[in-house]
Amino acid sequence: MDDDIERIHTPVMLERTIDLLEPAISRPGAVVVDATLGMGGHSAAMLARFPDLTVIGLDRDTQALAIAGERLAPFEPRARFVHTVYDGIARAIRSEGFTAVDGILFDLGVSSLQLDRAERGFAYSKDAPLDMRMDPTRGRTAADVLAEATERDLVKIFRDYGEEKLAQRYARAIVAAREEAPIERSGRLVEILQAATPVAIQRQGHPAKRVFQALRIEVNEELSVLDRAIPAALGTLNLGGRIVVLAYQSLEDRIVKRELARATTSSAPPELPIELPEHRPQFKLLVRGAELASEAEQEENPRAKPVRLRAAERIRSAT
């Protein structure tokens, strides 16, 4: 099991992430939330490095929780696990007996487990049932969305969540194809998209990439969840606590950037001659802009190529 996990799962920006969190999570009795536990790569490294640290791992994916639970078993009881979507972070922390934490990590997007297991339906390169649910125990599948959404709804999904220029063309092709037979497998969806894509555009990249991203975001409500999760997470941090977020596409990163900007900006009205203490920012940024993985890491781990890291520290209590 361990060898297999190590083979398919290389945590992105592992050392940089731990370096940024270390001043907060190396304190005696520190608690960190791994809000996107996955297969536990970041958590395993933090638990091994900081012997007094407790990790609360959150994940909506029951398969991921089972794998991480086995991997992190040597660290129990310092390793805790909660089955939840990460906008439930405050409830999860309370359920483990804490009122606040010292560190939070979000490693967003689809996990190695979900991508590499064909039966989950996340990868357009592998024919599989069109599922795409991060929590395979509940909710609509991608096949359900393709069967039930109107053409107008599909256009909006592909444009808003995939930034797809051919959204109208693809939506029309899908609606026509589903009248002949349900679209239930990734291979058939790819065929429909390829047939609807002009040859010149096919040379610019795989035509299914943005559509699959859009369907995944729609199925899992990823952006609306993230909208709620970042402010909720910031509200749980102790003074001196730190948050690190790894985003892999521009829509996610835009939300993270916006929320961290709000948290690190004074709330004083512009007409005030001086900034009163209660208006001072509660957080400060720890990196300038969005930090990229090194060229060496991008070469070694292709999944690190699109990552954008942002981080902040609480410098003033909420009250």
User: What are the distances in angstroms from CA 97 to CA 56, 93, 219?
Assistant: 11, 7, 32
Within a domain: 33: yes
Within a domain: 247: yes
Within 8 A by CB and 6+ apart from 112, the residues are: 8, 9, 10, 38, 39, 303
- Domain match, 89 and 180 both: no
Residue 247 has pLDDT above 50, yes or no: yes
* Domain end marker among 195, 220, 245: 220
Give this prediction's pTM: 0.89
Beta bridge partners, 283, equal 314
Residue range(s) defining the domain that contains residue 179: 119-220
CATH number of the domain bearing residue 155 = 1.10.150.170
Residue 119 has pLDDT above 90, yes or no: no
CA 138 vs. chain centroid, Å, equals 19
Exposed/middle/buried for 239, CB within 10 Å: 0-12, 13-18, 19+?
middle
* Domain end marker among 197, 220, 243: 220
Instruction: Return the pLDDT at 3.
Output: 47
Within a domain: 11: yes
Q: Model confidence at 138, in pLDDT bands (50, 70, 90)?
A: confident
- Domain match, 230 and 105 both: yes
pLDDT: is 136 or 183 the higher one? 183
Instruction: Give pLDDT tens digits for 76-101.
Output: 999 999 999 999 999 999 999 999 99
Q: For helices 250-263 and 222-234, give the axis angle rounded to 10 degrees.
A: 20
Mean pLDDT of all residues in the chain?
90
- Return binding residues: 40-42, 59, 86, 107, 114
Within a domain: 268: yes
User: What are the distances in angstroms from CA 263 to CA 224, 282, 315?
Assistant: 19, 6, 11
Within a domain: 319: no
User: What is the number of domains present in the chain?
Assistant: 2
- Return binding residues for S-adenosyl-L-methionine: 40-42, 59, 86, 107, 114
Q: Model confidence at 318, in pLDDT bands (50, 70, 90)?
A: confident
CA–CA distance, 131 with 121 (Å, rounded to integer)? 5
- Domain match, 31 and 91 both: yes
* Domain end marker among 156, 187, 220: 220
Section 196-216 average pLDDT: 86
